[in-house]
Structure 1
Amino acid sequence: MSAPPINNLSISHSSRSVTEPIEPSADLVHLSQYIANSKKFQVSGSDESEFNENLRRAVQAFEAGVFPQLIADGSSGSYFIHDVNGATLAVFKPRDEEPFADLNPKWPKFFQRILCFCCFGRACLIPNHGYLSETAASLVDSRLHFNIVPKTRIVKLMSPTFFYGRRFGKQIEARPKEGSYQMFVNDYESATAVLTRWNEIGLNNALTLPEIHEFTILFQKMCILDYVIRNTDRHMDNWLIRHVPGRELKIAAIDNGLAFPIKHPETVSVFRHFPFNWSALSWSHKPWDRELRDDLLATITPVFVDNLCKELMVLFRHDKSHSRLLTYSQMRVVRGQLWNLRHSLIANETPCDLVKRVPLLVSRRYHGAPVSENWDQCFYARTDEELSRGCC
């Protein structure tokens, strides 16, 4: 099949609800910082130069006939993006090839959808919103100043190597696909491999005392991120570690597409709770790092929560199948997670203690903007069982 004409990226616009307008604020970013422009092949923002250069190299490779490569692992259509020299630039996940989408090229999910439809999907998540979840996780990571999620934005790409289905035995003509574009991190290993190696040689032999302290902070940041976005798919193979002894220690939290539920998973099914697997590690039993704790308590104010939720709502409204009520439900969960996180930090608990807290849904008491810095004056919390109906 001949290569399609290169018109790889296109801009998309979000709609805003007339019943709940978003207050303009200098602290809030524009949608163009999340979604690539089709003419300039870039996203806006003063700190986006690295991402834009990465995307420019990808477009250059497309024009040279270097197309995405399907990743064999995983349950969805995910693709490595390479530059003209073969170096990996990013991972692209098309919306219509997500785990529960019709054009998922992986056969196991196809058979599950046909033969096991009664247990297909995750009832707490909005189907085919993984690309938004990936991008939103990058947003939350940025707002919390964690820098553990590789920068992720939404782009449109077109390639003959994407899966377009088949019709009467003939390949369907290629067309642009929208999805999440996450910058690739080099020289990282899975947490399983690294932690196993550390355990084999002994932690004190693997890490210096400063490195143990540094890793504790990085690990706790990942725990907080997962908790805030209520990640339902964090396991030992989708968080990565880069360790150069005595020189560098980093964590990368990837695969954030199954997060931002409309309800707490614990209340949806008695069989599938999607626990945080890191809570079984000994690292999760260490109290919050004091500096991290103090920084977060100073950060997560009612104004911060309000701005974060407004930014997330703008992003989620980008999808053509957007439901305002479902987005409001997602925000109740996010606020509830931040509510519990704040109380856990105040009590100087551990990440393991945090996940044992009763899941809450938190709604606003105000209209427009927070009326004070007092949480109880701005929000009220309820459990899923207590919430019959209410306004976001």
Structure 2
Amino acid sequence: MLEIDLQDISISSSHSCEQQEEDDWSCTMNQLRIEDSDFNAIFRSIQEAIDANVYPELTPLGSSGTYFAKDISGTSVAVFKPKDEEPFAELNPKWPKFFQKMLCFCCFGRACLIANSGYLSEAGASYVDSMLQLEIVPKTRVVKLASPSFYYSRWYGRNIVKPKEGSLQLFVNGYERAETVFGRWDYNKELLSSEEEVRFTELFQRMCVLDYIIRNTDRHLDNLLIRHVPGKELEIAAIDNGLAFPVRHPESASRFRTFPFRWANLKWAQKDWDESLREHLLEVITPHFTHELCKVLQELFSNNSINNRVLIEKQLRIVRGQLWNLRKALINNDPPAVMSKLEPVTLIRRHGRKHQNSDDWLEWFRLKSVDYGDRSCC
């Protein structure tokens, strides 16, 4: 079982790469398969850079305060997203969400998600990725950083810089948006060999697994990144996982904003499961694994004072239900596209010790169907 220490909120690390030109790809790869001790080294390098007046830089992209955190040389090594600069937080430096709140309040936020907890969702996706050994999410942890380049309340005064809590995700180099890569593959059919097609199908299905478990409401071709060196390397990185881990299934929270899995329409989601991936997941996903994963997520989500035990348990019930449906799809060999249309369910944990040595899911959990009775319009 993967041991994860969530007590110190500043835990982080990264792989030190002795940069030679031919090693650039291996350095990028190591950012997806990195140890906590290395992640901590990157975090320390960011703090040292801030002390040397090399500050995180606000990116104009996105709808929230998102910063490229740099090392002492000015190289971007991670992406930091402060909690109080999230899309619907008061200190969000981007104006579009403010106008949405004023002019289109009925569609402000997502009814199925806990507001201003995206940084926990980012870290939670990383833990799910690690515990399932998917290796597609750059390591992400919850940390605290202070920098004059962040946005602070005017009440703090101009010279007061306080640490901000947020998610820190390692930066990956050499990746492109999926939309760009898909366009290139469509233009030149020979760029992707038959072996690479098989490899990409497996990687794509790993992303489907991740998104399905965390019930991601915002996967699109801009936050699926691909690194393709024809004939040599092919990897993906699933970033921007902040709009996941809902407290209600989107289908049961809103009549019109159900946030279906958009990847279900792509050809790789309609293919049969990669057999090695299928066997791996069926071996790993057990009632005990589900229980341990939810313990890790519960401890993570408890970092947010807004989250209470009731809300967190609602999130975990959905995670368990998604794992139940995923396992069902794997057993029946239903491809991801079919899995995405399964009737959503939740699993409620049964208390007691007598089931702890059992592999029977229904001894661990109680299956419950979703109530569609009180859906809102938005």
TM-score higher than 0.5? yes
Structure 2 equivalent of residue 339 of structure 1: 324
1:68 is matched with which residue: 17, 36, 56? 56
The answer on whether the counterparts of 1:165 and 1:171 sit within 8 Å (CA) in structure 2 is no
SS in structure 2 of the partner of residue 187 of structure 1: coil
Structure 2 equivalent of residue 260 of structure 1: 245
**How far apart are the structure 1 equivalents of 2:7 and 2:231?**
39
The answer on whether the counterparts of 1:94 and 1:178 sit within 8 Å (CA) in structure 2 is yes
The answer on whether the counterparts of 2:13 and 2:38 sit within 8 Å (CA) in structure 1 is no
Structure 2 equivalent of residue 29 of structure 1: 4
Percent identity of equivalent pairs = 53
- Alignment-mate amino acid for residue 188 of structure 1: Y
Shift of 1:27: 5.2
Structure 2 equivalent of residue 15 of structure 1: none
2:173 is matched with which residue: 166, 183, 186? 186
**How far apart are the structure 1 equivalents of 2:265 and 2:152?**
41
**Cα RMSD (Å) of the superposition?**
2.1
2:266 is equivalent to residue 281 of structure 1: yes
**1:197-276 to 2 correspondence within 5 Å?**
197-202=184-189, 205-276=190-261
- Alignment-mate amino acid for residue 69 of structure 2: I
Shift of 1:167: 5.5
Unaligned runs of 5+ in 2: 15-33
**How far apart are the structure 2 equivalents of 1:133 and 1:141?**
12
- The one-character-per-residue Cα deviations of 1:100-132 (angstroms, maximum 9, x if unpaired) are 111111101112223322221111001111110
Shift of 1:144: 0.4
Shift of 1:367: 2.6
The answer on whether the counterparts of 2:298 and 2:312 sit within 8 Å (CA) in structure 1 is yes
Unaligned runs of 5+ in 1: 1-25
2:101 is equivalent to residue 113 of structure 1: yes
- Alignment-mate amino acid for residue 146 of structure 1: L
Size of the alignment, in residue pairs?
Answer: 354
- Alignment-mate amino acid for residue 257 of structure 1: G
The answer on whether the counterparts of 1:371 and 1:378 sit within 8 Å (CA) in structure 2 is no
Structure 1 equivalent of residue 69 of structure 2: 81
Shift of 1:47: 2.6
Cα distance change, pair 364–371 in 1 and its aligned pair in 2 (3 A): farther
1:301 is matched with which residue: 259, 282, 286? 286
- Alignment-mate amino acid for residue 85 of structure 2: E
1:131 is matched with which residue: 109, 116, 119? 119
Shift of 1:235: 0.6
SS in structure 2 of the partner of residue 263 of structure 1: coil
2:299 is equivalent to residue 314 of structure 1: yes
- Alignment-mate amino acid for residue 300 of structure 1: I
Shift of 1:386: 8.4
**How far apart are the structure 2 equivalents of 1:227 and 1:387?**
23
The answer on whether the counterparts of 2:252 and 2:372 sit within 8 Å (CA) in structure 1 is no
SS in structure 2 of the partner of residue 206 of structure 1: coil
Shift of 1:343: 0.4
Shift of 1:189: 0.1
2:161 is matched with which residue: 174, 181, 184? 174
- Alignment-mate amino acid for residue 197 of structure 1: R
- The one-character-per-residue Cα deviations of 1:301-320 (angstroms, maximum 9, x if unpaired) are 00000000111101111112
Cα distance change, pair 242–232 in 1 and its aligned pair in 2 (3 A): same
Shift of 1:340: 0.3
The answer on whether the counterparts of 1:36 and 1:42 sit within 8 Å (CA) in structure 2 is no
- Alignment-mate amino acid for residue 283 of structure 1: W
Cα distance change, pair 71–386 in 1 and its aligned pair in 2 (3 A): closer
2:188 is equivalent to residue 196 of structure 1: no
- The one-character-per-residue Cα deviations of 1:105-164 (angstroms, maximum 9, x if unpaired) are 110111222332222111100111111000000000000001100000111111111111
Cα distance change, pair 386–188 in 1 and its aligned pair in 2 (3 A): closer
The answer on whether the counterparts of 1:297 and 1:342 sit within 8 Å (CA) in structure 2 is yes
The answer on whether the counterparts of 2:69 and 2:78 sit within 8 Å (CA) in structure 1 is yes
**How far apart are the structure 2 equivalents of 1:111 and 1:193?**
30
